[in-house]
Structure 1
Amino acid sequence: MAVKIYRSVLIIADDLTGANDATAQFAKLGFSTVTTLDIDVVPHLMKDYDVVAVDTESRALSSDRAYDSLFALGSKIKDYVGETAVYKKIDSTLRGNIKAEVKALCDVLEPDLVVFAPAFPKQGRTTKDGVLMVRGVPVEQTYFGKDIRTPVKASKLSAYFEPRHVGAYHHVLLDELRSGRLYDGPALPKVLTFDVEDDEDLRRIVRLVCGLGDKDIMWVGSAGLAESVAYNIVVGDRHGKPILMAVGSVNDMAREQVRMFIEEFDGRLLKVDVEALIGDFEREWLRLRKEVSDALGCALDIVITTSYTREQMEQGRSLAERLNVGLSEFGLMLSRKFGELVSRIFHEFGYGRFGGLFLTGGDISVAAIRSLGIDTLELKGEIEPGLPILKFKDMNVVTKAGGFGSMETLVKVAARLKAER
């Protein structure tokens, strides 16, 4: 199943603080972000930024005016929906014209699925049995139910939808969510709401929904859900300069990540002859040089690995025995040679031929960076926990421990590096 890659993210908020709060979840990962109060410039900004937030200032409007404002905005961005993730930022205590605004966006954008999760556990906002709670109390019974400008009148999430307008509705209870069940039956509901107790529940929601395949999804939530969306959806590009990925980790997850990446990006997998790399580096370099040249000639991403197959790993163990060195010492020898190989590729073909460098495996990352003559790296952000984006001069670099990440991690890395501005 293909992984959906969004070119950009549009955040639609009903006030300025909410727009900035949600945008910050993406900015801290290194995405280029901007906030505007002018809906007319949104399409233009979406061409220049990864994440655009628009403040419609509609929280205290009448429901009819709020509907009209959101419908007008939706009409301007409708043509971008296929490649843009739409995030409707709402207040974590359900203040504002949520029902009217969600309906307006559904009417004009016609998403396949609305994911509704206002919970923000870090701020004491959770959902239990379909009721939004503030520190254990239904929200309408708290101070927010008496708010002077926008009092909350309903704590039940179902009150914010009209089935005749948005189609089938299903609430996912906590035990269903944690067991990975989103809904029963053959047809995908039009709206899914969720019980949420902690941040991991929000991450589960995003991972499970992203696993539904190529659906047009409208995310509706507070900054809590925005943070999980930022870390889990794939934002970037399939097109751009080739990425060089040097994979030396023996972890099973690293191999699965390579497999999915090759499937998604139709990249070129180059398997290093470990014995030749150690014993006759120049011969192995000449062999791989031709393969790299052929791949670049076809504008293909390149994965070069010392540990993709069991045969490669067994070859390494056998060579270590013949050299009478321990596996740890052999690993360092192999890392230094692999690092030199990465350096040769960049010096031979030029930094400008590549959109970035990905390194996995701690020893190999250090060896490659040293061989490239890099002594200082600027931190730009991160793709997901454990995957920082670094910069050396004009080259972007991502490093990763072997077992970190999910199956889609290398897809995220490539998409992000190709889209880096």
Structure 2
Amino acid sequence: MADVLVVADDLTGANAAAAGFARAGFRSVTASAGDRADVVAEMVSRFDVVVATTDSRHLGPSEAARRVAAVVRAGWPVHLVCNRIDTTLRGNVGATTRAVLEEVSAASDGARVVVLCAPAHPAAGRQTIGGMQLLGGRRLEDTEAARDARTPVRSSDVVDLLRDQADLGVAAIPLDLVTGHEPALVDELRRALAAGAEVVVADATTEEHLDRVAAACVAATAGTDLVWATSDPGPASVALARALGLAGSADGAPLLAVSGSATELTRTQLHQLSVERGAITHRAVRAGAVPDVDATARVLDEALSSAGPKDVVVLATVLDESDVWRPTAEEADAIPRALARAVRRNLEAHAVDGIFTTGGDVTAAVLAELGSHGLEISDEVVPLAVAGTLVGGPWDGLQIVTKGGLVGDAGTTVACVDHLRRSAEARRRQVTAVESRQPY
């Protein structure tokens, strides 16, 4: 379950929104949904924030709303749904705002949903004052936005736009309340909600204003079942996510080590990893000679569910000499595939910062099961142990270090996992872009 699902109407806006969440410490991904909303379902278990672009800015209102609703359904459940709108209000702002409101309400078993619409983007020179959207201090109709060839902007009035495009019940929160005493702001929000507001449009000229509004929204509805959503270019969504306590996984996720090697050296290396880095080791559950996929997946699920962001979880076919056996050729072929299937099931449900694999057959099976086309190699940690990222498939960009079962000395696996951790920390705040693994 992701913390935040963002539905954007174009790719540029999606990337900008994802970058904003990444800067705030959220693990973010962009996905091109369009009429393929199913890609979103593949991503929500792996990232804090999934930003899906529907490419709907220049479509008709009904089709734009349909695409938004499909993305919300595919990504549900999440803690917060955000409708990423253009900073100059181009496109189907009203239709997509209503689509988010209605779809989140339906997904929440009919709960009341209210949308915070705070279209200011202070860092980009967009402010909202008196319910009017300004670009560099000028009304939108006095800027180049009014001459856009496909979706010209006729008015800067955010409230009127929402009412005209989607017949929404809108309440405006003026700047004097946003910048005044917090209790007065909270009281005004409560009055607006009591009067039946579906959308709250808030003025803002600075990031601090957005934080104040977000905090007041949460305070005004504390102890109620009301569900908040957002409609904004991104900064207000980040502010509301923080106010809701969705801090993002700035500390990262566990690392997963997968071993299909039965060599004595591998057993020594895994023991050293446990001693030096506190790795949590688990045996694959065997049904005869081959791992039982269901039972092994359950073991790994329990391990990853309880693991912290600094932990290393190890899944291995062999941990000590008593585990060693001589499989047949058919069994030797089936073992890595079964192990890889158990791994994939868990990566669909748990985020990890990276994977370490030892054993050539297991590495190949894991890559195939994850739909990867191969590896983009970035470094050789030690001779014959390489680091890189997965290329292609839904786990595109995932950090990996891999080596053979007879590579290195007792400390090599520790060195590989340490390298993986450093690489993951450097990459964590980068935004990943993915494509669906499902065929068109």
TM-score norm. by structure 1 comes to: 0.52
Contact 1:166 1:190 in 2 (8 A): no
Q: What's the secondary structure of 2:81's corresponding residue?
A: strand
Q: What's the secondary structure of 1:45's corresponding residue?
A: coil
**Pick from 11, 14, 18: which aligns with 2:6?**
11
For these two proteins, the number of residue pairs brought into alignment is 249
Q: Given the superposition, is the C-alpha separation of residues 166 and 53 from structure 1 closer, same or farther in structure 2, using an over 3 Å criterion?
A: same
Name stretches of at least 5 consecutive residues in structure 1 with no aligned partner.
1-5, 239-346, 358-390, 397-421
Q: What's the secondary structure of 1:193's corresponding residue?
A: strand
Question: Partner residue of 1:174?
Answer: 175
| CA–CA separation in structure 2 for the residues paired with 1:18 and 1:67 | 17
1:237 deviation in Å? 9.6
Q: Given the superposition, is the C-alpha separation of residues 29 and 67 from structure 1 closer, same or farther in structure 2, using an over 3 Å criterion?
A: closer
Contact 1:7 1:236 in 2 (8 A): no
Which letter does structure 2 place at the counterpart of 1:90? I
| CA–CA separation in structure 2 for the residues paired with 1:133 and 1:149 | 20
Question: Partner residue of 2:89?
Answer: 94
1:165 deviation in Å? 6.4
Runs of 4+ in 1 over 4 A off after TM superposition: 163-167, 349-354, 391-396
Which letter does structure 2 place at the counterpart of 1:234? G
Q: Given the superposition, is the C-alpha separation of residues 394 and 227 from structure 1 closer, same or farther in structure 2, using an over 3 Å criterion?
A: same
Question: Partner residue of 1:68?
Answer: 66
Q: Given the superposition, is the C-alpha separation of residues 118 and 46 from structure 1 closer, same or farther in structure 2, using an over 3 Å criterion?
A: same
Q: Given the superposition, is the C-alpha separation of residues 65 and 195 from structure 1 closer, same or farther in structure 2, using an over 3 Å criterion?
A: same
Contact 1:113 1:217 in 2 (8 A): yes
Q: What's the secondary structure of 2:201's corresponding residue?
A: strand
1:59 deviation in Å? 0.5
Alignment of structure 1 residues 11-410 onto 2, 5 Å: 11-38=6-33, 39-77=37-75, 79-80=76-77, 83-110=78-105, 112-162=113-163, 168-178=169-179, 179-180=181-182, 181=185, 182-183=188-189, 185=191, 187=194, 189-211=197-219, 212-213=221-222, 215-229=226-240, 231-235=242-246, 355=308
Q: What's the secondary structure of 2:42's corresponding residue?
A: helix
Contact 2:163 2:170 in 1 (8 A): no
1:66 deviation in Å? 1.3
| CA–CA separation in structure 1 for the residues paired with 2:246 and 2:238 | 14
Contact 1:15 1:56 in 2 (8 A): yes
What is the CA RMSD across the aligned residues, in angstroms?
3.4
Q: What's the secondary structure of 1:183's corresponding residue?
A: helix
| CA–CA separation in structure 2 for the residues paired with 1:88 and 1:164 | 15
Q: Given the superposition, is the C-alpha separation of residues 227 and 165 from structure 1 closer, same or farther in structure 2, using an over 3 Å criterion?
A: closer
| CA–CA separation in structure 1 for the residues paired with 2:134 and 2:152 | 15
Which letter does structure 2 place at the counterpart of 1:197? T
Contact 1:170 1:191 in 2 (8 A): yes
1:86 deviation in Å? 0.7
Which letter does structure 2 place at the counterpart of 1:142? T
Which letter does structure 2 place at the counterpart of 1:219? T
Contact 1:166 1:191 in 2 (8 A): no
Q: What's the secondary structure of 1:140's corresponding residue?
A: helix
Q: What's the secondary structure of 2:90's corresponding residue?
A: coil
Q: Given the superposition, is the C-alpha separation of residues 171 and 16 from structure 1 closer, same or farther in structure 2, using an over 3 Å criterion?
A: same
| CA–CA separation in structure 2 for the residues paired with 1:164 and 1:94 | 12
Which letter does structure 2 place at the counterpart of 1:22? A
More displaced 10-residue stretch of structure 1: 137-146 or 212-221: 212-221
TM-score norm. by structure 2 comes to: 0.50
- Residues 71-106 of structure 1 show CA distances to partners (whole Å, capped at 9, x for unaligned) of 3323334x41xx421111111111111111112222
Contact 1:11 1:52 in 2 (8 A): yes
| CA–CA separation in structure 2 for the residues paired with 1:40 and 1:92 | 27
Question: Partner residue of 1:248?
Answer: none
| CA–CA separation in structure 1 for the residues paired with 2:248 and 2:92 | 34
Higher helix share: 1
Which letter does structure 2 place at the counterpart of 1:130? G
**Sequence identity (%):** 28
| CA–CA separation in structure 1 for the residues paired with 2:242 and 2:70 | 30
| CA–CA separation in structure 2 for the residues paired with 1:135 and 1:236 | 31
Which letter does structure 1 place at the counterpart of 2:48? D
Q: Given the superposition, is the C-alpha separation of residues 115 and 395 from structure 1 closer, same or farther in structure 2, using an over 3 Å criterion?
A: same
Contact 1:119 1:196 in 2 (8 A): yes
Contact 1:15 1:55 in 2 (8 A): yes
1:51 deviation in Å? 1.0
1:137 deviation in Å? 1.6
- Residues 212-236 of structure 1 show CA distances to partners (whole Å, capped at 9, x for unaligned) of 2253111111133244345444237
1:195 deviation in Å? 1.2
- Residues 278-303 of structure 1 show CA distances to partners (whole Å, capped at 9, x for unaligned) of xxxxxxxxxxxxxxxxxxxxxxxxxx
Which letter does structure 2 place at the counterpart of 1:204? R
